[in-house]
């Protein structure tokens, strides 16, 4: 959209060459969404000059807080736009917490049942349910119908680009489908 240019910089190093990228500020970002402004100000500062360049390597260790804030802002925007019912990070944290609590209490239930009744095997599967919640937490954010439609559309664009079918990409470009 013309706010930022990303240039690849020649890899440095004698043996293990690590590529780097440079971000070039192109135009004022006041009209961007909140999470986009957070990212841009995290890279360039609050009032950068046109043409300012920042290396990705320069952001190492100082950009993490801005990225975390941008993620929270983006999740808030997803809920506002009705793509998700609740913020994905919040949903993951809830399910993870529930899984941990369930796992701990079910371990206690197994121990108590085994000590008191010698039937600990009967409730041995309960901790597994807690573990399922813990490991499944990342998949728990619930998209709305609108969110699912946008997600599928994004998968279609990914397929278009990863399949590297030149004719389909050229057709889409000629027909201005991406705009």
pLDDT over 90 (residue 48): no
pLDDT tier at 106, thresholds 50, 70, 90 = very high
DSSP, residue by residue, 97-123: HHHHHHHHHHHHHHHHHHHHHS-GGGG
Task: For residue 143, list its beta bridge partners.
Answer: 84
- Whole-model pTM? 0.69
Interatomic CA distance for residues 69 and 36, integer angstroms: 10
Predicted pLDDT of residue 134: 94
pLDDT over 60 (residue 141): yes
Predicted pLDDT of residue 166: 66
pLDDT top residue among 147 and 161: 147
Give tens-digit pLDDT for 49-83: 888 888 888 888 889 999 999 999 999 999 999 99
Structural element, H or E, at residue 65: helix 64-80
pLDDT tier at 99, thresholds 50, 70, 90 = very high
């Amino acid at each position: 959209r013309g706010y930022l240019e990303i240039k690849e910089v020649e890899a440095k190093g004698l043996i293990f060459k690590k590529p780097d990228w440079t971000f070039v500020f192109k135009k004022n970002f006041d009209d961007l969404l909140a999470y986009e402004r957070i990212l841009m100000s995290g890279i360039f500062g609050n009032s950068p000059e046109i043409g300012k360049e920042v290396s990705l390597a320069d952001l190492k260790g100082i950009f993490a807080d801005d990225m975390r804030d941008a993620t929270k802002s983006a999740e808030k925007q997803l809920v506002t736009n009705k793509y998700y019912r609740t913020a994905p990070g919040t949903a993951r944290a809830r399910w993870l917490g529930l899984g941990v609590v369930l796992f701990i209490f079910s371990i206690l239930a197994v121990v108590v049942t085994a000590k008191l009744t010698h039937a600990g095997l009967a409730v041995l599967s309960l901790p597994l349910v807690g573990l399922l919640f813990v490991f499944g937490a990342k998949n728990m954010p619930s998209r709305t119908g609108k969110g699912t439609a946008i997600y599928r559309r994004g998968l279609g664009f990914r397929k278009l680009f990863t399949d590297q079918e030149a004719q389909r990409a050229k057709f889409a470009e000629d027909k201005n489908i991406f705009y």
